[in-house]
Amino acid sequence: MASEQLEKIFKNNEEWIAQQLDKDPSYFKTLGEGQEPNILYIGCSDSRVTAEEVMGLHPGEVFVHRNIANMVISTDLSAQSVITFAVKHLKVKEIVVCGHTCCGGVKAAMQPQDLGLLNPWLRNIRDVYRLHKEELNAITDEDAKYNRLVELNVQEQCVNVIKTAEVQKASAERGLRVHGWVFDIKSGKLIDLKIDFDAILAKIMEIYTLKD
């Protein structure tokens, strides 16, 4: 038997259907005809950060992938498949990697605690810390250090996106762009980190650039 909360979800769904049809009788017919989103959003699975709602977008306007701490790992077939499908088949024009303040994944990665199956995943965030150890260790305030690691993690995941073959090809052929954002949970604001990818990539793309 479904719990009271689950039963409420189905009731909410019926109300939502009625609301959509009241505004647009062809709403679901249009959705059924396909999707043409311009944006791929890669974000965190945190229940407080819902992609469409945060951006004020509607179904069909953004293709979404979420995991713990908005990671883009080369061996993660789920993330890599999403990127390939979004870039090669949906032809998205923008890719956004969006982290957020109060991120439990980033916080856990800062602690020397054995978390079992989560260890391999969190190690990727610890690798971000290692890459930026000098800057982070110079920050004495723990909250400020935590928030900066959130930002740096977004930056490194953006770089990981850019390393992929499909993104490199689409960037060269049709101007696909990658962006790094942070959602501030305590204010509700989306913050564009305005990452200088040209400066960052100038030092590493001779290693990661792929050619036919």
> Which residues share a beta bridge with 63?
40
The residue annotated as part of the active site, out of 44, 65, 158, 179, is: 44
44 is catalytic: yes
The residue annotated as part of the active site, out of 46, 65, 158, 179, is: 46
66 is catalytic: no
Q: Where are the alpha helices (DSSP H) in 110-202?
A: 119-131, 133-137, 142-163, 165-174, 197-202
Give how far Cα 22 sits from Cα of 16, 31, 33, 52, Å.
10, 15, 20, 21
46 is catalytic: yes
Give how far Cα 123 sits from Cα of 46, 50, 114, Å.
19, 25, 11
The residue annotated as part of the active site, out of 98, 100, 158, 179, is: 100
The residue annotated as part of the active site, out of 48, 58, 123, 174, is: 48
103 is catalytic: yes
The residue annotated as part of the active site, out of 65, 98, 103, 158, is: 103
Ramachandran class of 50: left when φ > 0, alpha when ψ lies in -120 to 50, beta otherwise? beta
Q: Which residues are catalytic?
A: 44, 46, 48, 100, 103
